[in-house]
Amino acid sequence: MKSVLIFLASMLGAALLAAAAALSGVISVAANHYGSFDTRADAVLNRVSRASIRRHASRAANPFTGDRAATDEGLAEFRESCLNCHGARAIAPAEFAAGLNPGAPGLDSPEIQAMSDGELFWVVSHGIRATGMPAFSGSKDDKQIWKIVAFTRRLPRLTEEETKRLRAGDDGR
């Protein structure tokens, strides 16, 4: 029993110490601050984020998988809402995106492409708190979001024509 009390007291002490450090202002929240603590904090927050996304994401299949017309519409939605922060193959993000911390991931990366369609849909719909990733469910309906997901799947294999359309703003309509 004594060892259990010592363990609980130690845990409480560690929690109080962590809270004191967090509330003291010693931990920088500046977007342009980098360092080993920030790298570790980002790693922990990324793990928490991934676990939350997996838990809350829909298991539904994308109704637009394989629908070329919907993917083309997704390109226009992607250009309007995603390109400035995430960029695309051979297209750099907008200048302001360099100030995002954490930075917006490349959506053609293996880590992002390994996510299920439901996970991608959840992220686009609900956003990710304190990352700069907004929730688009307030401005886009489910069909538009699924089309963005369908286009996101094309990113690793963008054609030259799709790249030109992203650059030029020609959505083909």
* Rounded Cα gap, residues 70 and 74, in angstroms: 6
Q: Return the structure tokens found at 36.
A: 């080993």
Q: Return the structure tokens found at 72.
A: 């083309």
Q: Is residue 77 part of a domain?
A: yes
45 burial level (CB within 10 Å; 0-12, 13-18, 19+): middle
Q: What is the pLDDT of residues 75-110, one digit of tens each?
A: 999 999 999 999 998 899 999 999 998 889 999 999
33 versus 61: the higher-pLDDT residue is 61
pLDDT number for residue 64: 97
State residue 145 phi and psi, 5-degree precision: -65, -45
Looking up residue 144, the CATH number of its domain turns out to be 1.10.760.10
pLDDT number for residue 119: 98
DSSP calls for 7-55: HHHHHHHHHHHHHHHHHHT-S---TT--SHHHHHHHHHHHHHHHHHHHH
pLDDT number for residue 13: 86
Q: Is residue 131 part of a domain?
A: yes
**Above 60 in pLDDT, residue 172?**
no
What domain count does the chain have?
1
pLDDT confidence bin for 169, thresholds 50/70/90: low
Q: Is residue 163 part of a domain?
A: yes
Domain of residue 106, residue span:
59-168
Q: Is residue 42 part of a domain?
A: no
